[in-house]
A and B are shown apart, each in its own frame.
Chain A
Amino acid sequence: MLAYIARRFLILIPTLLGVSVIVFLLLHLTPGDPAELLLGERATPDALEQMREHLGLNEPIHVQYGMFLKRLMKGDLGETIWTRQKVWIEVKQRFPATIELSVAALFISCFFGIILGIVSATKQYSIFDYASMLGALAGVSMPIFWLALVFMLIFSLNLGWLPMSGRLSVGVELKTVTNFYILDAVLTGNGKALKDVLWHLIMPAVTLSTIPMAIVARMTRSAMLDVLRQDYIKTARAKGLSRVQVIFKHALRNALIPVVTTIGLQFGVMLGGAILTETIFAWPGVGKWMYDAVMQRDYMVIQGGVLFIATLFVVINLCVDVLYAVINPRISVR
């Protein structure tokens, strides 16, 4: 097992190298020049030249890539072009926000998605099945933007139950230690802040969870339907096990393998793809940060951010593979 994990980590190196080459080439082949965008209408050729020189953009691409790799070897992702800050510090400031949001959304989507899937499968072709699958279809096709605005109008503007945007109310003080606000509130024993943070999390997390929830529900349903038709389920029923035991102990466990794969992939997508949700809810995470960086051609942010997200993606996939073995001992990890 350990050897397997170590090997998987070794594979990370060529993967990341590949990612970095592709990102680097894509960035430098895409039209646009950070110096030009920084200076806007008032750019003079002199100022542009000085800025390009300063940013090292006048070097040939392979030299720039070499410098990037050299820094990377030392564990340095470089300095952002716009904010003149170490990239890893910027990541550290924003990543907890994205993780908090994605984990919450993942939790909501798994919990409800799996339950909906199971119930639909066990009551196939019932009203409930049709309703939940229609709901799932709606969930997949719902524009996040629209849904978020509807939530805001109902729950914030009209009912006043939930805060509209941001991570923390303006009047609430929270001493940040890890930048994971929930954790920080717990660590500093700040109950008021904890409630405020959770309240802020509800709407964006629910909004972000709709699509994965729908996907998980459909996946669970079809996997469960497959498993429920197997002979060993009949055997389990025949030997007099209760319905609940059959479903949860015998059927679900076997049905979970494809579901876990889906969840792992969805989590990866959420980490990098929460751009819309983060933008609408003014959630200061990586999605919005990366989007802005693309628009401003902040090469350093994009390179650093993509590498970071790629690493996470690989690690999550590894976790999923290890989970397989835990869920189903017949799959051995070698």
Chain B
Amino acid sequence: MVKKLTIITILLMLVGAGTLFAAPKSGGTLVFGRGGDSVGLDPAYETDGNSFMVCDNIYEALVFYADESTALEPGLAESWDISQDGLTYTFHLRKGVKFHDGTDFNANAVVFSIGRMMKEPKVKYFGKGWEIPPQDRPPEYWVSMEMDDILDSITATDDYTVVFKLKKVNAPFMANMGMDFADIISPTAFLKNPKEFIRNPVGTGPFKFVRWVKDDRIVLERFKDYWDKNAGPYLDKVIFRSIPENSVRFLELKTGNIHICQFPNPQDIDLAKKDPNLILPTQPGMNIGYLGFNLTKEPWKSKVALRKAIAYAIKKKAIVDNLYQGLGQVAKNPIPPTMWGYNDEIPGYAYDLKKAKELLEKAGYPGGKGLGEITLWSMPVPRPYNPDGVKIGEAMAADLAKAGITAKVVTFEWGTYLKRQREQPEDMDLFQLGWTGDNGDPDNFLAVLFDGLASEAIRTQWKNEEYHRLMIQGRETIDQKKRIEIYKKAQKIFFEECPAIPIAHSTVIWPAHKSVQNFKLHPTGSVRMKNVWLK
């Protein structure tokens, strides 16, 4: 009997190994169906996911993010050293890498690519370099990641070594270097026609740009001289097709005309589960949808018990089940659980009406009396972290009513919403907002969203001395183990003070045809076709 079992186990393992390690097959065209066209293809200037997903396959950065996380791996830089004082980063570049236009990738290309985003470029080439032309427009990511305050100079010390000097110690700097905006472009191709580069991209990535039919398709083909000979690209061509209507895009997948369907309607996911021809790549999104308070005015500013009462009164699970339609998980921290530094010991504010009422009384508003009608700002557009702001706002208002609080759902046009929210006006009490992570660093959530002492631009304007100190400390500590402790502590303060209520992290499911092999969704939303092949 034991023998029989062993044989069966071995057989099963062999079969398993066979499917797991099935040799990737080269060739074929993969069609990726998405909701909209790219805006442009110069990574320094783009701000939207539809642009970045194409850039992800054309360009590469000095460091890569791992397949399904934001752990850093060697990219165009094979290795790097960080000086003792944390101010000098030396990147040792990969040799034998070519751009799609046949020119060589080297240290000068790095200096040019990154240097062109600096407000006042402080760069030095090795030998002859290129003059950096004036910027077409402000490089958005560079500006919003405040790179000009971090980076001092870039120097190529030989053909394959680049030295970045920082103005101050900044631990997330390495993670930033893996983001799309830090992709390396071909200076030769760029200088041929700087204004047209966004429509004629040239990088070192596994696929090269072929053609762009506006609002219809972008065609990429395999780059034959790609440096990594041990893995992909396997596909001959990748085509990004724009099919704006969600249900039509899903029907195209069912018909077999596209291989992957981005952002289907939630109700179509049930259909996809039943379809034997489809698979369901899934990834928890690196995002947070939260409910904030207007912390520039009373009573929200000083009454922690009131803030907590609201937190306990909202049925987060019901919101995720019904309005996210199951495509999400209830949040208890402001960073997603997949991120390093996540503090799982935080209990979170699970729905508890009794507790909410007690806290209301403690805050001096028994049964909501004395609070009057409060406003609950809700965004007018679906966002990656919140599928329907107004409906969720209404659900929250209904929950609050049960605790005796009258909340009015208010909404504006999206641009106005963003603008007025930042101004923290008198007529705003609660507001919904959220965030999609850029680089997988906890600083990118905890500091950027909640450290109101750092800047007037922080959308929550929470001013807590201890939290602020931790954020600075976290940024100035290079050792990740120590940083984990710092951020765990920060989450504890966050939970105790409740400056905002974490509601949910959304989950991304993009159904694909079963012939698609090795396609992995990335938490940052990037789409990488390098190792994908078709059966």
B257 and A41 contacting across the interface, CB-CB below 8 Å: no
Which of B137, B216, B413 has a CB less than 8 Å from the CB of A31?
B413
How far, in whole Å, are A297 and B418 apart by their CA atoms in the complex? 14
B125, CB-defined interface residue at 8 Å: no
How far, in whole Å, are A43 and B421 apart by their CA atoms in the complex? 12
Which of A32, A93, A166, A280 has a CB less than 8 Å from the CB of B414?
A32
B29 and A170 contacting across the interface, CB-CB below 8 Å: yes
User: Contacts of B217 on A, CB cut-off 8 Å?
Assistant: 166, 170
B199 and A85 contacting across the interface, CB-CB below 8 Å: yes
A284 and B40 contacting across the interface, CB-CB below 8 Å: no
How far, in whole Å, are A34 and B416 apart by their CA atoms in the complex? 10
Which of B137, B138, B242, B419 has a CB less than 8 Å from the CB of A84?
B137
A165, CB-defined interface residue at 8 Å: yes
B418 and A36 contacting across the interface, CB-CB below 8 Å: yes
A170 and B456 contacting across the interface, CB-CB below 8 Å: no
Q: Do A90 and B257 form a contact, CB below 8 Å, given A32-B414, A41-B418?
A: no
Which of A43, A54, A93, A153 has a CB less than 8 Å from the CB of B144?
A43
- Cβ-closest chain A residue relative to B381: A295
Interface residue stretch chosen among B10-18, B248-256, B342-350 = B248-256
Q: Which 10 A-B pairs have the closest CB atoms?
A: A284-B215, A32-B415, A36-B415, A50-B138, A284-B216, A282-B243, A47-B143, A31-B416, A44-B457, A42-B144
B245 and A279 contacting across the interface, CB-CB below 8 Å: yes
User: Contacts of B45 on A, CB cut-off 8 Å?
Assistant: 84
How far, in whole Å, are A85 and B199 apart by their CA atoms in the complex? 9
A157, CB-defined interface residue at 8 Å: yes
B214 and A94 contacting across the interface, CB-CB below 8 Å: yes
B504, CB-defined interface residue at 8 Å: no
User: Contacts of B459 on A, CB cut-off 8 Å?
Assistant: 41
A82 and B39 contacting across the interface, CB-CB below 8 Å: yes
B215 and A47 contacting across the interface, CB-CB below 8 Å: no
A152 and B251 contacting across the interface, CB-CB below 8 Å: yes
Q: Do A39 and B140 form a contact, CB below 8 Å, given A33-B415, A170-B257, A297-B415?
A: yes
Shortest distance in angstroms between B378's beta carbon and chain A's nearest beta carbon? 15
B371, CB-defined interface residue at 8 Å: no
B138 and A51 contacting across the interface, CB-CB below 8 Å: yes
User: Contacts of A85 on B, CB cut-off 8 Å?
Assistant: 199
B414 and A37 contacting across the interface, CB-CB below 8 Å: yes
How far, in whole Å, are A33 and B255 apart by their CA atoms in the complex? 40
Q: Do A167 and B216 form a contact, CB below 8 Å, given A31-B416, A36-B415, A43-B144?
A: yes
A163, CB-defined interface residue at 8 Å: yes
CB-CB contacts of B137-164 with A at 8 A, as 1s and 0s? Answer: 1101001101000000000000000000
Shortest distance in angstroms between A211's beta carbon and chain B's nearest beta carbon? 19
CB-CB contacts of A275-291 with B at 8 A, as 1s and 0s? Answer: 00001111011001100
* Docked complex: A21-58 residues within 8 A CB-CB of B: 30-34, 36-47, 50-51, 54
How far, in whole Å, are A307 and B247 apart by their CA atoms in the complex? 33
Q: Do A43 and B418 form a contact, CB below 8 Å, given A54-B137, A165-B243, A284-B242?
A: yes
A153 and B251 contacting across the interface, CB-CB below 8 Å: yes
Shortest distance in angstroms between B150's beta carbon and chain A's nearest beta carbon? 14
User: Contacts of A292 on B, CB cut-off 8 Å?
Assistant: 36
B252 and A165 contacting across the interface, CB-CB below 8 Å: yes
How far, in whole Å, are A281 and B245 apart by their CA atoms in the complex? 8
B213, CB-defined interface residue at 8 Å: yes
A54 and B138 contacting across the interface, CB-CB below 8 Å: yes
Which of A41, A47, A51, A149 has a CB less than 8 Å from the CB of B434?
A41
Shortest distance in angstroms between A294's beta carbon and chain B's nearest beta carbon? 11
User: Contacts of A60 on B, CB cut-off 8 Å?
Assistant: none
B409, CB-defined interface residue at 8 Å: no
A47 and B140 contacting across the interface, CB-CB below 8 Å: yes
User: Contacts of A33 on B, CB cut-off 8 Å?
Assistant: 415-416, 419
CB-CB contacts of A157-168 with B at 8 A, as 1s and 0s? Answer: 100100111111
User: Contacts of A51 on B, CB cut-off 8 Å?
Assistant: 137-138, 140
Between-chain CB contacts (< 8 Å), 25 pairs: A41-B383, A41-B418, A41-B435, A42-B448, A45-B422, A46-B143, A46-B457, A51-B137, A51-B138, A82-B39, A84-B195, A93-B214, A94-B214, A94-B215, A149-B248, A153-B251, A163-B257, A164-B255, A165-B252, A166-B217, A166-B241, A171-B29, A282-B242, A284-B215, A288-B215
A279 and B252 contacting across the interface, CB-CB below 8 Å: no
A282 and B216 contacting across the interface, CB-CB below 8 Å: yes
Known pairs A36-B415, A280-B245, A282-B241; list 17 more (Cβ under 8 Å).
A36-B416, A36-B419, A41-B434, A41-B459, A44-B143, A44-B144, A84-B198, A93-B213, A94-B215, A152-B248, A164-B248, A165-B243, A282-B242, A284-B214, A284-B215, A288-B244, A297-B415
User: Contacts of A37 on B, CB cut-off 8 Å?
Assistant: 414-415, 418
Shortest distance in angstroms between B473's beta carbon and chain A's nearest beta carbon? 22
Shortest distance in angstroms between B344's beta carbon and chain A's nearest beta carbon? 26
- Cβ-closest chain B residue relative to A179: B213
* Docked complex: B168-196 residues within 8 A CB-CB of A: 195
- Cβ-closest chain A residue relative to B416: A31
**Interface SS of chain B: helix, strand, loop or mixed?**
mixed
User: Contacts of A50 on B, CB cut-off 8 Å?
Assistant: 138, 143
A242, CB-defined interface residue at 8 Å: no
A317, CB-defined interface residue at 8 Å: no
A279 and B29 contacting across the interface, CB-CB below 8 Å: no
A156, CB-defined interface residue at 8 Å: yes
How far, in whole Å, are A280 and B247 apart by their CA atoms in the complex? 9
Shortest distance in angstroms between B31's beta carbon and chain A's nearest beta carbon? 5
Shortest distance in angstroms between B419's beta carbon and chain A's nearest beta carbon? 5
* Docked complex: B312-366 residues within 8 A CB-CB of A: none
User: Contacts of A230 on B, CB cut-off 8 Å?
Assistant: none
Q: Do A41 and B433 form a contact, CB below 8 Å, given A170-B241, A282-B216, A282-B241?
A: yes
How far, in whole Å, are A47 and B418 apart by their CA atoms in the complex? 14
How far, in whole Å, are A285 and B216 apart by their CA atoms in the complex? 9
Shortest distance in angstroms between B313's beta carbon and chain A's nearest beta carbon? 26
B257 and A164 contacting across the interface, CB-CB below 8 Å: yes
Shortest distance in angstroms between A223's beta carbon and chain B's nearest beta carbon? 37
Shortest distance in angstroms between A299's beta carbon and chain B's nearest beta carbon? 12
How far, in whole Å, are A47 and B252 apart by their CA atoms in the complex? 39
How far, in whole Å, are A171 and B31 apart by their CA atoms in the complex? 10
- Cβ-closest chain B residue relative to A82: B39
A39 and B144 contacting across the interface, CB-CB below 8 Å: yes
User: Contacts of A160 on B, CB cut-off 8 Å?
Assistant: 255
How far, in whole Å, are A171 and B237 apart by their CA atoms in the complex? 11
User: Contacts of A40 on B, CB cut-off 8 Å?
Assistant: 47, 418
A83 and B419 contacting across the interface, CB-CB below 8 Å: no
- Cβ-closest chain A residue relative to B38: A83
B136 and A84 contacting across the interface, CB-CB below 8 Å: yes
CB-CB contacts of B212-238 with A at 8 A, as 1s and 0s? Answer: 011111000000000000000000000
Shortest distance in angstroms between B314's beta carbon and chain A's nearest beta carbon? 21
A164 and B251 contacting across the interface, CB-CB below 8 Å: yes
B447, CB-defined interface residue at 8 Å: no
Q: Do A284 and B213 form a contact, CB below 8 Å, given A39-B144, A83-B39?
A: yes
How far, in whole Å, are A93 and B254 apart by their CA atoms in the complex? 30
How far, in whole Å, are A91 and B391 apart by their CA atoms in the complex? 37
B130, CB-defined interface residue at 8 Å: no
User: Contacts of A94 on B, CB cut-off 8 Å?
Assistant: 214-215
A149 and B242 contacting across the interface, CB-CB below 8 Å: no
User: Contacts of B419 on A, CB cut-off 8 Å?
Assistant: 33, 36
- Cβ-closest chain B residue relative to A171: B29
CB-CB contacts of B407-440 with A at 8 A, as 1s and 0s? Answer: 0000011111011001000000000011110000
How far, in whole Å, are A266 and B91 apart by their CA atoms in the complex? 63
